[in-house]
A = this chain, B = another copy of it.
């Protein structure tokens, strides 16, 4: 079956269908603790038509198709857990159109967020969603990614206006429109964003862009304890101060940054903030934020006024996952990702810290606290199954805690293969509705099988 499907695909992809071991191995890895599961082959399509043809052939043969972006997902999303064809989108990486007046761009899925913003630089516009990794836009849409600027600009849900999607039977559809809003039927764009390649393969995206702010100010500040840092975030939100970024790192992360990046931060819980707007607005926002921090007893302000200082600050924040991982040589990571109502954030962090401490596993914490979202990065010794089991149990308790506090098991990383076991707990019978939708759109379960939902075929 596999052989026949692949031979058919090779007739038109030629040497862009690769069956060599190194390429399969490369596409069988993940960023975190998942065991390697190489696909049977890797395809490098260059057009929607090629993707549609590939999927059509796989559909006839009941052969799995697993889309691949930059391979930076954290829950094993792109692992070929049932074998099949890895569909690598790296050759579909162009900006097709920039509609500056409408603040939109039409892109292919394989472009990375950094490459996109480089192309946009001269237009005065930018695309704000910024997960830590330099992920592809297609992958970010598939996992409903977000990042440090979500508190102001939203997630991929808010910034994808329309899609071109190849369905499980090879049909090509377009969702959304160039209008900023629509009430024209079911929100198919929203359904495919976050569906992790299980309902269709994204081959084109229309993105909402934003104007580069006239002025930016950024700062770090430190607190004696994380509860005060969290209370400061809540107060800032309630004062209506429009933050573009408000990030938390705990004292362990501050120490790791000092050791690994040569910074000189007080080894205390920190907030890293940024304001976007007119010169006057940004100044006013920064002043009001400074007042709140003082009232709360925080301090150690370090303003990053020059662009290069700001860039260094956010580059350090974006690299936190890799820096933390490198701080314990020989370790692999399990990245947790819970998100709770902001009023429960202090409790969620406190309980998690206590749990981490008693577990004996290192778990520095960073968080997009304006969204109520935080990550403990659990550092597990490679080849230590006992430590992995302990970390998984810890991660499960975090997810259960998030649900108990009215939140969600994943704020931005997605379900992938890693959080399947928690879906029923979070969603109850609504998880069955997800499975119903999956069966309706992919009756043979060929699109990224084994992710998001469980289907008995």
Which residues from B are CB-within-8-Å of A437? 186, 191, 437, 440-441
Q: Contact flags (1/0) for A235-249 with B, using CB distance below 8 Å? A: 001101000000000
Q: Contact flags (1/0) for A190-213 with B, using CB distance below 8 Å? A: 110111000100000000000101
Give bound CA distance, A410 to B281, whole Å.
36
Copies of this chain, whole number: 2
Least Cβ distance of A276 to chain B in Å? 9
Least Cβ distance of A436 to chain B in Å? 5
Q: Which of A107-115, A150-158, A319-327 lies at the interface? A: A150-158
Assess whether A157 is in contact with B190, with CB atoms less than 8 Å apart: yes
Q: Is the interface of A mostly helix, strand, loop or mixed?
A: loop
Give bound CA distance, A103 to B237, whole Å.
10
Q: Which of A250-258, A296-304, A425-433 lies at the interface? A: A425-433
Which residues from B are CB-within-8-Å of A179? 339-341, 371-373, 402, 406-408, 411
Query: Assuming A180-B341, A183-B337, A184-B414, what are 20 further A-B pairs, CB within 8 angstroms?
Result: A99-B341, A101-B234, A102-B343, A104-B341, A146-B183, A157-B187, A173-B433, A177-B339, A178-B341, A179-B339, A181-B373, A182-B411, A185-B415, A185-B452, A185-B453, A186-B199, A191-B437, A281-B281, A437-B437, A439-B440
Give 13 CB contacts A-B under 8 Å.
A101-B234, A145-B183, A173-B433, A178-B405, A179-B402, A179-B406, A181-B373, A182-B411, A183-B408, A185-B415, A186-B199, A278-B284, A433-B441
A interface vs B, CB < 8 Å? 99, 101-104, 143-146, 150, 155, 157-158, 167, 171-175, 177-188, 190-191, 193-195, 199, 211, 213-214, 234, 237-238, 240, 277-278, 280-281, 284, 337, 339-343, 371-373, 402, 405-415, 419, 423, 426-431, 433-434, 436-437, 439-441, 452-453
